[in-house]
Structure 1
Amino acid sequence: MADQNLHEFIDSVSTQDRLRVENDLGGGFVRLRVSEAERRQAQQDIRSVEDAVIEMLRNARDAGARTVFVASAKSGAERTVVMVDDACGVPLNMWDTIFEPRVTSKLDSMLFDDWGVHGRGMALYSIKQNATLAQVESSVEGGGSAFRVVFDTSKLTERADQSTCPELQRSETGEWVLGASPHNINRSVAEFALANRKECTVYMGSMVEIVATLYAFGRQALRTYSIMPDDSADDVAPSKRLAMARNADELVDLAATLGISISSRSAYRVINRNVDPCDPFLTTLPRAVATPVTKKGRAKDVLKDFRGLKIAVEDIQDFSDDLKKPFARLAARYYLEPDVEPKIRVDSDGVHVTFPVRKM
């Protein structure tokens, strides 16, 4: 009986080795099967929750996202991250397949950024290999996606300090850089948002805060895109879907389609606008204040041009009309009233334009 158990054990171990090894080259060397090499590479690519968050953000950016919403929550050792974007979306029949190795939509391109090479088709696979759960919660082709990933932080670690945010500072060349801070999720998102600020805007907050932000974002989009009451939620872009909610119960249900679970009480607060939408994450970071240098008795600038400047009223009006369109685009992204009249002041030093800010 003991011999039989021993043989079964040896057979099972040998079977496991055969599944991992393509060739035994002798001398202690083997050639791994592709699947085993991929599994080991995935563990190398993702060493922390922060690494996974960066990969999710890069994936959204590479899919064409202009706006990304990151919701994060921690319960015990379980970290949940929900990411909603307005990128190109994922076809329904690919929801599971995109988490397989070497699956990519970037056949003819590989991207190089601050975090290395992207476009090998390994990012989502690596995330899934290191997560308790990783899945597409919702997606609309041409309208974006919602991903939910759950990590066991006792297995895939994260920084202990998840509350500290980095400070924005001016470098010697005048560029914005991040000051010293723990390399937590906040910093990972800040690094990505700063490096990609010309390509996409990132919002980050708790589950309830991101629901409030998506609700406001969707309502703003209603000014441009008509969402009919009888439209199916599955056909509405995830980033705009929450605007369909007519009451707290509907908001709870719609948030659930994105992988976000909130209470009826929280939903009621969002509907009644008692939860402020998040500002773009970069704008929420503290900024280092430069100490002003004062010089008493400064000499008069003899090179200053003291000539005045006058501009015709009709030219001022034309200039004002030209400025309204780009401001309307900016207002749509930051939940501002787009239909405002700019104030234009002309003096000897320049032409000063001020747009009144009216938050939605």
Structure 2
Amino acid sequence: MKLALILNVIDPQIGGVMIMGDRGTGKSTTIRAIADLLPEIIVAQDDMFNSHPSDYELMSDVVKNRLEEGQSIQTIPIKVPMIDLPLGATEDRVCGTIDIEKALTEGIKTFEPGLLAKANRGILYVDEVNLLDDHLVDILLDSAASGWNTVEREGISVRHPARFVLVGSGNPEEGELRPQLLDRFGMHAEIRTVKDPSSRVKIVEQRSKFDSNPYNCLEEFEKQQEELKNRIIKAQKQLSDVTIDYDLRVKISEVCGKLDVDGLRGDIVTNRAAKAFAAYENKEHVEVNDIKQVITLCLRHRLRKDPLESVDSGLKVSQVVESVFNLDELH
């Protein structure tokens, strides 16, 4: 789970993470903690879409127009937005709608941004995503894939950037997500309750320690947190220089073919994730081991399965990976 989140932060185009697991296993805690590992971002001041001051792909039309008119853009640093999407959210709240107050008091049509606008260049978290309305999940996945949100409402037409890492969590006991929606998430992590008594005791002790004095606890781990933060920033910068050999790309596609994975999303995401992992490990070339570390996270939710079965635990993927990436074959 932690690795999947870190890799999506290094390369948001991996396509988000779906985290399914038992209740009380710290899913939400881990997801909310990832925001603290991210460096501050520079945004255009007084802009409702967290627009980038110089990158056109991450900029709203208002900022673009101001730039084209030769105006200077004031900037401010902000923390990476971490937006929670509540289960009861309406489509208008998610996408944005007409500002009713301004329409009534001033008689002008203006756009009131939704959660997708606030999440631009940040993280959008949906707890219990398997209980969210399917059409809302569709909207989220479409925006996450295209990086844009288009709103057509009562004579208003607005298109704004919506680049975010989509993170969903849920408990499989409450129902699985539809396969075609599940396939749109880049990675899938499965969390099981720890069975080892000594590990459980360690978790309980850490939790009690944090409850009794949170500040001391934060101080204790500050150095490790800073190291991880710097490692992520370095990997983000190095990502564009990482290469993956043709024969390894062929092997990834061979694994997807043998597992009968529908479509090509599995191939694309595995290639991206392997590069992100190599950058995280401070390498310039993807190696077999990098692929092995990420491929189960990328493929386990894409396998065709019996309707009565839950998502593959990863055993099937591991077996095929071992047979295809036979080390003797590579040497």
TM-score, length-scaled by structure 2: 0.24
TM-score, length-scaled by structure 1: 0.22
Greater relative CO, 1 or 2 (CA 8 Å, sep 6+): 2
Structure 1 or 2: more strand by fraction: 1
Larger gyration radius, structure 1 or structure 2: 1
